Chains A and B, each alone.
Chain A
């Protein structure tokens, strides 16, 4: 495989990281919480997709719609049940973090009990062979991943910058108290943010299953961790940053696999994170937040 194809495949993989990273970043931006259960939302999305498609034999579009819907609801539910009271009472950040880890462990074990820990194979979702561009043959999954992630990113940017609720999200993420004084129901804004982030993770889950057709209760672990790395790399809290971080991570991982080592590629990925944070602690597109007086 030549360099360009490798890079494109890397972008395809990075697209999945990017979609998941967006959820980490948005939630962090608004409540300063690293939602470690976010990776497991991908897993939930994968299982819903599988259940509707394979067990119920429904059409693909329905399975995708159901996965997005269930994940969005699950995201809001997790926020309401696990985090809401901690946030309202200004609990220490460490309590939130531990709670997030708890939710993650809970979800994985719940799905292990429900569906056993054996991985399941997902049938081919979408495959149109490959796209030929001159001498290049780009696999359909790569094309789909890139196109879908770009559409989602543009959609999200429009939502955040052009709509009333989007601007309310920006306002609340900058100063929750001041947002309340504008008559913004910040509880609703936070719930909405979790819903959008989780819906994007569901889209990520669909792309993931289309690329690596297998699901298991612990599939969200490494995927979630890498997406988190992508979010931090790009500058957590920044939407374009999350996308950029995702793409960089995906390309770095694929190129390392192709040209350097097929075993220690994760070390390279995390090495990049350490390097970037040493040089620019706020991440590539992150801004220095001014501390409130």
Chain B
């Protein structure tokens, strides 16, 4: 199995703040990899750097062997890397269906075939979205918006899915549903990079994980090992 995403020594700044201090990590094909850490550790910064919304001063980003360090965000999506952003960021004035269509924006020509099937697939995965498909997204509950954000990202038929804090602000039962969905999407062949504050939940579905602490990676390893790690237990699992 090859490496799908390779992040090598990236340094990212927010003005004067040095948010990521030379971190490196990689995601192999078919894996679920988590990036866990506290608020402000740099998790979202890492996500935005991968999707091209932020730039690294050094190092390189490779997606499926191609250097994407300087590639524009919309082109990165076209290469097969979709992101479910933190806070969901659905288009609240557009309907559920229109949001999903926006997710399929990059599909042109022959790739438009199969859009209806993919919509049906997402609707059968999240029946509540089907019921509300004519409703504007702003009127959905937090959980429904998260489903929509995931469905929207899947509409581009990504090779790899980045999820930024999908559990944020959701009821436990909803978190369970979202995580089941992530596992399912992964089982169907999509590689997943997951950023989470809910470390226990994230580690429970991941193959491997990296612990991010104020801009550096302090620990890495198999998810199962990290779940047993005393340091991780104390800092992130509330044990």
Contact = CB atoms under 8 A, between A and B. Distances in A.
Nearest to B101: A167
Chief secondary structure at chain A's binding surface: helix
Interface string A163-199: 0100110110011011111111110000000000000
Contacts, number: 67
A174 B88 CA distance: 13
Interface in A66-101: none
Nearest to A290: B92
Q: For chain B, which range describes its interface: under 10, 10 to 19, 20 to 34, or 35 or more residues?
A: 20 to 34
A174 B89 CA distance: 10
A168 B91 contact: no
Interface in B74-89: 74-75, 77-78, 82-83, 85, 87, 89
Contact of B53 (A170, A174, A177): A177
Interface string B45-80: 000000111000000000000000000111101100
A94 to B, nearest CB: 19
A186 B105 CA distance: 12
Contacts of A185: 72, 74
Contacts of A178: 85, 89-91
A262 B202 CA distance: 72
A179 B106 CA distance: 11
Nearest to A164: B105
B93 A174 contact: yes
Interface residues of A, number: 19
B156 A177 contact: no
B93 A180 contact: no
Nearest to B89: A178
A8 to B, nearest CB: 34
B94 A170 contact: yes
B91 A171 contact: yes
B103 interface: yes
Given A167-B98, A167-B101, A181 B91 contact: no
Given A171-B94, A174-B93, A175-B91, A184 B101 contact: no
Contacts of B52: 180
Contacts of B94: 167, 170-171, 174
A293 interface: yes
A171, A177, A181, most chain B CB atoms within 10 A: A181
B152 interface: yes
Nearest to B90: A178
Nearest to A180: B73
Closest 4 CB pairs of A and B: A183-B77, A183-B106, A180-B73, A178-B89
